[in-house]
Amino acid sequence: MSIRPIYLDSHATTPVDERVLAAMLPYFIEKFGNPSSISHIYGWEAEAAVKQTREILAAAINATPEEIVFTSGATEANNLAIKGVAEAYFQKGQHIITVATEHKAVLDPCAYLKTLGFEITILPVQKDGLIDLTELEKAFRPETILVSVMAANNEIGVLQPLEAIGEMCRDRNIIFHTDAAQAIGKIPLDVQTLKIDLMSLTAHKVYGPKGIGALYVRRRNPRVQLAPQQHGGGHERGMRSGTLYTPQIVGFGKAVEIALAEQATENPRLRSLRQRLWEQLSPLEGIHLNGHPTQRLAGNLNISIEGVDGAALGLGLQPVMAVSSGSACTSANTAPSHVLTALGNSEQLAYASVRFGIGRFTTQEEIDTVAKHAIATIQSLRKQTTLV
């Protein structure tokens, strides 16, 4: 029987927590009703379950349940937010601001809108992955209708200064959207304090099921208008038609509930494991940390390694650990990570990078095993290079 590699790719996805699965199971077989069927008990059960998750998600970000719109995931939520604002506000302006290190689920919708005549400003980031607020200040125009900046980066874990960005947008009556797929349940999120108008969420990064996400849409001060991108039935306040997937929604709510309850103890544990891994790897020459050293997700460590071939590095690590060299969502692309090159890394360093995503079920023993094997692999590859 083969031994499965140690899983350290929690930014790509996470396993469903057994407590989440237990909450979901009744809604597949016993309570299988359509939440829109409000004339009998099967529909009432499903409707009540959906309502409960709306309340959980709303409480998690200090919103109201009516402001939660369910989607198939954060990619759909990002598309609904960005395209929905563009279509609803195009008469007010056709300028959107985003950041070079955003997920492709933000950059690609923006690129699409550019083909329709919208102007897109893509802000650079500093060496540590943070945006320069003075550059954002310079980018604002009278016709700017939307700013989209992610809360936590999916590759380097960097946490952007959301409160400052939100303040700048609110002062100018510009809608502020954030992709918080990696942030929900991991860092405090308050849409009122941060002045966020649209927030994309997903379940599978926080030990919930794949295929379910949500978009927070502010209803007052200001009320945000969105043009729906999917029609047919008028579900979700007309913003996203389609029968709601009740088991997935239940799982989403339970996953966020658990994450919030355990956040105060889990983050220090993850931070300790990350530091333990970094302390073992960093003494090697030519190891570079990608992203801000402290203003990042507790479970994220992203490094670039001099003097090794990226493909050989991946093959060398593979038997012992499951890690990523970039975003799993773009792994079919052979180009170097756009996030790592935006930090100023050369193509060689961007290719020879490893993203360690430490998660809920990662142990100290696993961290030590991973560090030992990674060091041996790097040293072996460097030795081979010098012999050639």
Catalytic residues: 329
Give dist(CA 130, CA 195) in Å, integer. Answer: 19
Place of tokens 């829109």: 36
Helix axes of 310-317 and 364-387: crossing angle, nearest 10 degrees: 140
Give dist(CA 354, CA 298) in Å, integer. Answer: 16
What one-character DSSP code corresponds to residue 336?
P
Residue 154: CA count within 13 A, CB half-sphere: 32
Amino acid at 370: V
CA 161, distance to chain mean position in Å, is: 16
φ, ψ for residue 152, nearest 5 deg: -135, 125
Residue 205: CA count within 13 A, CB half-sphere: 31
Pair 162, 171: CB distance under 8 Å: no
Pair 47, 38: CB distance under 8 Å: yes
Longest dimension (CA), the chain: 76
| Token pair for 306 | 């001099």
Helix extents (H) in the chain: 18-24, 26-29, 41-61, 74-89, 104-115, 133-139, 162-171, 246-281, 310-317, 338-342, 347-351, 364-387
Contacts 24+ apart (CB under 8 A), 366-373: 366/6, 366/8, 367/273, 367/276, 367/277, 368/276, 368/280, 369/6, 369/320, 370/6, 370/8, 370/277, 370/320, 370/321, 371/276, 371/277, 371/280, 371/281, 372/280, 373/317, 373/320, 373/321
Backbone angle region of 5, left / alpha / beta, with phi > 0 → left and psi within -120 to 50 → alpha: beta
Pair 381, 308: CB distance under 8 Å: yes
